[in-house]
Amino acid sequence: MKHRKWWILAVVVALFLGLGFANLSVPERKVQTDISHLYGVRDPQFLRSMGLMLGPAIAEGNQATVLLNGDQIFPAMLEAIRGARQSILFETYIYWSGDIGREFAQALAERARAGVPVHVLLDWVGSQKIDDVLLQLMRSAGVQVRYFHPLRWYNLGRLNNRTHRKLMVVDGRVGFTGGVGIAPEWTGHAQDPRHWRDTHVRVEGPVVAQMEAVILDNWAKTTGEVLHGAAYFPPLAPVGSERAQMFASSPQGGSESMLLMVLLAISAAEQSIDISNSYFVPDDVTRRALVAAVRRGVRVRIITPGPVMDAETVRRASRGLWGELLEAGVQIYEYQPTMFHCKAMVVDGLLSSIGSTNFDERSFRLNDEANLNVYDAGFAQQQQAVFEDDLKHSRRITLAQWQARPWREKVKEAVLARLGALL
């Protein structure tokens, strides 16, 4: 009997160790070779590659509006929710609590009581801090709230696959995406360390149908329910002049498609690449692509978080990888006033990519992510103006400064850089 107990204990331990390894390990890398520079972002071949080889078709006739920080983002989202008449779909990694969490819950509940179908998909890990009171408020009003990959014995092996997306579509006509979660940290206007800097986008036009399809795919995977019809996919007439596509990735549907999109954009650059990213821990292929861009004359600038950081180990891992980038001439800046949570890239004043994707292996290979790609010079000009303003609040890190770090920092950052895929 005693031997049997030890045998059962050994099996349980082995099972948990195996599951732990499965969740901490990174899937086998598929993208290993560099992508050659064959054409620029203004070449029709670039659009064909982005729309046919990698992602959904590039839709004409859209209008995207940049929203900065909570003071602009949350009122726009709440206005759309309160005006909903047909449907609301909301998928987010982070939904915590506080006044803003309560305001969203009340607005969603009110629309559900009015008879509007409201579907909310929360990531089980990212939204652990949500108050049960808010869940009860929404569910009692008829809001369908579901968790993405909740902790269950039968899906322990998928625990490391999170939906990191931040997507909302109202009436199938108005969409929102970017880096913002529903939490007090995103309120305000980045005025102090307790209020974060972030960017979201409000979009109308045919590309909204692609955003809706991305959310509904995960809704179907989570609930088994297929939502369709005019309440979700109404006819969408052109409302502007911008070309756009909703680019999504997941381990189940091409885990490295987002990485391929980013690499293709970097490899097509001929003038400038401006990257704003909160968790910048690029793999060796991405670093080589950035270095190659600089060597063919492209100005590459990157803004990352500075002293105010919600994940210091990630910041250290990032800094451990800067050597070859700084030596090549990549300009790296650290944002000073508060946590910098933006996830945006602008290439050659034409392509703007904004969404949930970080420059790290977790985003590129483990998470479900979504970025809105806008191919428009006017929109890119707005984004570059935002980037220039963020630069005013950032401190440039030179190669000499990086090399002069205390040896303890060098050792710690070198170790964490090698563990970057697990952070």
Q: Which residues are catalytic?
A: 164, 166, 171, 341, 343, 348
The token pair at 191 is 């005025």
Identify the three-state secondary structure at position 176. strand
The token pair at 194 is 């307790």
Q: Report the distance separating Cα 373 and Cα 284, nearest Å.
A: 24
| Residue 233 CB burial class (10 angstroms; 0-12, 13-18, ≥19) | middle
Q: Report the distance separating Cα 92 and Cα 196, nearest Å.
A: 17
Q: What is the DSSP string of 233-277?
A: S------SSEEEEEEEE-GGGTTTHHHHHHHHHHHH-SSEEEEEE
Is residue 75 a contact partner of residue 107, using CB atoms and an 8 Å limit? no
Q: Report the distance separating Cα 199 and Cα 78, nearest Å.
A: 16
Burial 55-88 (b: 16+ CB within 10 A, else e): bbebbebbbbebbbbbebbbebbbebbeebeebb
Q: Report the distance separating Cα 391 and Cα 150, nearest Å.
A: 39
- Going from the C-alpha of 191 to that of each of 19, 179, 196, 339, 421, the distances in angstroms are 42, 18, 8, 11, 32
Q: Report the distance separating Cα 195 and Cα 213, nearest Å.
A: 32
